[in-house]
Amino acid sequence: MRNMNKILLIEDIENAENKTLTCIFEEKIKEIDCVTPIKAKLEAKSLGEFIQIKGHVSGKVRLECDLCLEKFDYSLDFDIDEVFSKGNLIGEYENSDKEYEIKDGQFITDLNGEKEIDIYDLLYQSVILNFPNKKVCGINCKGKEYLSEENNSDPRLEVFKNLQINPKCR
């Protein structure tokens, strides 16, 4: 086990015992409003033409409520299971006349011959994808009341108050 920099070399995985590396990541991701560092314990394993990265991610980020627009803290706690193709596997499928159906668990990231995996980017994407679809600060959010107050109306929308629609024009 070792602390990880942001790049994982495929050669290091291939040369590791059992072709498996266990790595620890613990830092804030600049592009995300992190309250605490994002912690990840990852296991990278060579599977022949593929590299599999599995692990657990946790941390706390600050999101904006979709209803009241106030900031709130959101706890992250999820698993990662990603597969990377060492070769140009996707290019082979794109140049083929055959059609392929992608099933659950078959999403593969093509490294296009790259010799490294950007763990920072992998974690950034995984964190973003694990945000809730509807970001709400709490069950008792009074967002609708807050947004319906007259003093919160957007002056840019005033132009639409006098808009008339002629139903005969289509």
Q: Rounded distance, CA 66 to CA 136, Å? A: 6
> In this predicted model, what pLDDT tens digit does every residue of 150-166 receive, in sequence order?
555 667 777 777 777 77
Q: Rounded distance, CA 125 to CA 51, Å? A: 18
Q: What per-residue confidence (pLDDT) applies to 3?
A: 43
Mean pLDDT of the chain: 81
> In this predicted model, what pLDDT tens digit does every residue of 25-76 receive, in sequence order?
999 999 999 999 999 999 999 988 888 999 999 999 999 999 888 999 999 9
Q: What per-residue confidence (pLDDT) applies to 165?
A: 75
The distance from CA 33 to its chain's CA centroid, rounded to whole angstroms, is 14
What's the average model confidence in pLDDT over 109-129? 87
- What contacts 76, CB < 8 A, 6 or more positions away? 38, 57, 58, 59, 60, 61, 127, 130
- What contacts 106, CB < 8 A, 6 or more positions away? none
- Kindly report which listed range (4-13, 51-60, 95-104) carries the lowest average pLDDT score: 95-104
**DSSP helix/strand/coil, 132:** coil
Question: Which tops the pLDDT comparison, 138 or 38?
Answer: 38
Question: Which tops the pLDDT comparison, 99 or 58?
Answer: 58
One DSSP character per residue, 4-39 reads --SEEEHHHHHHSGGGEEEEEEEE--TTS-BSS-EE
